[in-house]
Chain A
Amino acid sequence: MRRAIAAVCAAAGFLSLWMLMPRFDAALEGVRPALGREEAIRKAVAWARAHGVEISGWRFAVEAEVDPVLARIRRRRPESEVARVFTPVRIRVLAFNERGDAVLSAMTAGGLPLSFLDRRQSAAGEPSPDAAGQEMLRLTGAQAARFRRTAENVRTLEGSRSAWEWLDPKPDGVLARVVVVTRNGRVVHSSYEFSASREAAGETPPAPPKLQAAMAVLTLATAAGIALLMLWMLFVSLQRRSDQFGFAIRFLWIPAAGVSTAFLCGNYQNDALLRSFEEGLTGDSRLVLGITLALLLLLALFLILAAAYAAAPRGQMRLWAPAVLLVRGQWRNRQAAEQVWFGMAVGALLGSAPYWVAQLAGEPRVRFLEGEDLLMAPWPAMEAFAGLAGAWEVYAVALFLYPLLSGRLRRPWMAAAVAIAAGTLAATLPRSAFPPGHAANYATAAVLTGGYLLAYRYGGMLGAWVAPLGMHAAVQGVRLAQMPAPSLESAGWQALALTSGIAVAALGASFLLPEADTLAAETEMSEAAAALPRSQRGRLRAEFEVARRAQQDLLPAGPPLIPGFEAAAACHPAGEVGGDLYDYLPGPHGRWMLCVADVSGKGLGAALHMTLLKGMLASAAHHAPAPAALASRLNQAVAETGRGRMFITLSLLVLDPAGRRAEHFRAGHNPPLVWRAQNGACEWRKPRGIGLGLTAGPAFEANLETETIEFAPGDMMVLYSDGVTEDMNPEGELFGEQRLAELVQRHAREGPRRLAGAIMEEARRFRREAELHDDWTLLAVQCAGGGTPQEDGPAETAQKS
Chain B
Amino acid sequence: MTRSFLIETRDEGNVRILALRGFLDAHTAPRFEAAVEEELRAGRSRLVVDCTGLDYISSAGLGVFMTFIDEARGAGGDIKLASIQPKVYQIFDVLGFPALFDIQPAVEDAVARFERGAGEG
The residues of A with any CB-CB pair to B shorter than 8 Å are 241-243, 600-601, 644-647, 649, 667-671, 688-691, 694-695, 699, 702-703, 722
Please determine whether B100 and A699 come into contact, CB atoms closer than 8 angstroms.
yes
Q: Kindly state the separation between the CA atoms of A429 and B91 in the bound complex, as whole angstroms.
A: 67
- Please report the C-alpha to C-alpha distance between residue A702 and residue B100 in the assembled complex, in whole angstroms: 11
B94–A671 touching, CB < 8 Å: yes
How far does the Cβ of A221 sit from chain B's closest Cβ, in whole Å?
A: 27
- Inter-subunit contact B63/A690 (CB<8 Å): no
In the complex the two chains form, is A688's CB within 8 Å of B96's CB?
yes
Q: Other than the known A241-B27, A242-B1, A689-B96, what 18 A-B pairs have Cβ atoms closer than 8 Å?
A: A242-B2, A242-B27, A243-B2, A600-B59, A600-B63, A644-B67, A644-B70, A647-B66, A647-B95, A649-B94, A649-B95, A668-B94, A668-B95, A690-B96, A690-B99, A694-B95, A695-B66, A699-B99
Residues on A with beta carbons closer than 8 Å to the beta carbon of B99: 688, 690, 699, 702-703
Alpha-carbon distance A722/B91, docked complex (angstroms) = 10
* Secondary structure of the A contact surface, majority rule: loop
Q: State the CA gap A695–B59 with chains docked (Å).
A: 15
Q: Is the CB of A601 within 8 A of B95?
A: no
Does the CB pair B26–A601 fall under 8 Å?
Answer: yes
Q: Which residues of B contact A670 (CB under 8 A)?
A: 94
Q: State the CA gap A600–B27 with chains docked (Å).
A: 14
Are the CB atoms of A703 and B96 closer together than 8 Å? yes
A694 near B3 with CB under 8 A, answer: no
Contact of A600 with B60 at beta-carbon distance under 8 Å, contacts A668-B95, A690-B95, A690-B99 already known: yes
Identify which of B3, B59, B94, B96 contacts A601 (C-beta below 8 A): B59
CB-defined contacts of B7 to chain A, threshold 8 Å: none
15 A-B pairs with C-beta separation under 8 A: A242-B2, A600-B59, A644-B66, A645-B63, A646-B63, A647-B66, A667-B96, A668-B95, A670-B94, A688-B96, A690-B95, A690-B96, A699-B99, A699-B100, A702-B99
- Say yes or no: is B88 at the interface (Cβ < 8 Å to chain A): no
Q: Fill in one digit per residue for B94-112: 1 if any A CB lies within 8 Å of its CB, else 0.
A: 1111011000000000000
Chain B interface size band reads: 10 to 19
Would you call B27 and A243 a contact (CB within 8 A)?
A: yes
A-B pairs, top 6 by smallest CB distance, nearest first, are A690-B96, A600-B59, A703-B99, A668-B95, A242-B2, A668-B96
* Cβ-neighbour of A694 out of B1, B26, B27, B100 (below 8 A): B100
Residues in chain A near residue B6, CB distance under 8 A: none
> Are A694's CB and B66's CB within 8 A?
yes
The complex places the Cα of A242 from the Cα of B27 at a distance, in Å, of 8
A242 x B95 contact (CB < 8 A): no
**B60 in contact with A601 (CB, 8 Å):** yes
Q: Is B19 an interface residue (CB 8 A)?
A: no
Q: Which among B26, B27, B67, B94 is the interface contact of A645 at CB below 8 angstroms?
A: B67
Report whether B96 and A694 are in contact in the complex, using a CB–CB cutoff of 8 Å.
yes
Q: Which residue of B lies closest to A639 (CB)?
A: B66
A695 touches B100 (CB 8 A): yes
- For residue B63, give the distance in angstroms from its CB to the closest CB of chain A: 6
Q: How far is the CB of B112 from chain A (nearest CB, A)?
A: 23
Instruction: Give A647 to B67 CA distance when docked, in angstroms.
Output: 11
Find chain B residues with CB under 8 A from A669 CB.
Answer: 94
A601 to B59, CA, bound (A): 6
Does B35 sit within 8 A of A, measured CB to CB?
no
Chain A residues whose CB sits within 8 angstroms of the CB of B95 once the complex forms? 647, 649, 668, 690-691, 694
**Complex Cα–Cα for A647 and B60 (A):** 10
Contacts of B40 in A (CB 8 A): none
Q: Which residue of B lies closest to A694 (CB)?
A: B66
B94: chain A residues at CB < 8 Å are 649, 668-671, 722
Please tell me if the beta carbons of B100 and A690 are within 8 angstroms of each other in the complex.
yes
What is the CB-to-nearest-CB distance from B51 to chain A, in angstroms, rounded to a whole number?
A: 18
A702-B63 Cα distance, complex, nearest whole Å: 21
Which residues of chain A have C-beta atoms less than 8 A from B62's C-beta? 600, 647
**B63 neighbours in A (Cβ, 8 Å):** 600, 645-647
Max chain B C-beta neighbours (<10 A), residue from A647, A667, A694, A695: A694
In the bound complex, what is the Cα–Cα distance between A32 and B96 (angstroms)?
82
What are the residues of chain B within 8 A of A688 when measuring CB–CB? 96, 99
| Chain B positions within 8 Å of A644 at CB level | 66-67, 70
Chain A residues in 8 Å Cβ range of B96: 667-668, 688-691, 694, 703
A649 — which chain B residues lie within 8 A by C-beta? 94-95
* Shortest distance from the beta carbon of B76 to any chain A beta carbon, whole Å: 17
Q: How far is the CB of B27 from chain A (nearest CB, A)?
A: 5
- Chain B, 27-67, CB within 8 A of any chain A CB: 27, 59-60, 62-63, 66-67
A691 and B59 alpha carbons, distance in the complex (Å):
11
Question: B26 → chain A, closest Cβ, in Å?
Answer: 7
A600 contacts across to B, CB distance below 8 A:
59-60, 62-63
Residues of chain B within 8 A (CB-CB) of A647 are 59, 62-63, 66, 95
Contacts of B59 in A (CB 8 A): 600-601, 647
CB distance from A246 to the nearest CB of B (A): 10
Q: Give, as a whole number of angstroms, the nearest-CB distance from A98 to chain B.
A: 65
Q: List residues 1-19 of chain B with CB under 8 A from any CB of chain A.
A: 1-3
